[in-house]
Amino acid sequence: MAEAERRPIASRDTGWARTVAGRLAAAGVAPNTISAASMAGGLAAGACFAALAWTEQPWLRSLVAAGAIAGMQFRLLCNLFDGMVALAGGRRPSPTGELWNDLPDRVSDACILVGAGVAAMHLPGGRELGWGA
């Protein structure tokens, strides 16, 4: 897919994002590897959210919540860079490229939403929210 055909995202046009994508491409990091790494971020964020259900000390809750935020941001950055690296590296689409572009997003999102639902299980309707995710 050519860059002109892609959905416009303002963060792709920033200098820092182009620099990072260029360096990742120059280092030979495969877009599919970046997509797979996004699942680790989603899983970490979901686990941190779930841990909030059993964490009572305020300082630890803050630390765990910051971990959830960091995991979500890492997942979003991976989602940004996988396509940029594919274009920056001049790679031809792989037979499994579409799968690697979408499946990790679904896995990551499910981990985050289920973790957030578990965190809310002590609230009225929280358990249903978690299972609904």
Grouping H, G, I as helix, E, B as strand and the rest as coil, residue 63 is: helix
Give the model's pLDDT for residue 68.
Answer: 97
Query: pLDDT tens digits for 59-71?
Result: 999 999 999 999 9
Query: Which of 21-25, 63-67, 109-113 holds the top average pLDDT?
Result: 63-67
Give the model's pLDDT for residue 123.
Answer: 84
Closest CA to 82 of 21, 17, 3: 21
Q: Which residue has the higher pLDDT, 34 or 92?
A: 34
Q: Average pLDDT over the chain, rounded to whole? A: 86
For the chain, how are helix, strand and coil distributed in percent, rounded to 5? 80, 0, 20
pTM across the whole model: 0.84
Percent of the chain with pLDDT over 90: 49
pLDDT average, residue stretch 114-128: 85
pLDDT average, residue stretch 28-36: 91
| DSSP summary character for residue 4 | G
Give the model's pLDDT for residue 132.
Answer: 80
**Cα end-to-end span (Å), the chain:** 32
Grouping H, G, I as helix, E, B as strand and the rest as coil, residue 56 is: coil
| DSSP summary character for residue 96 | T
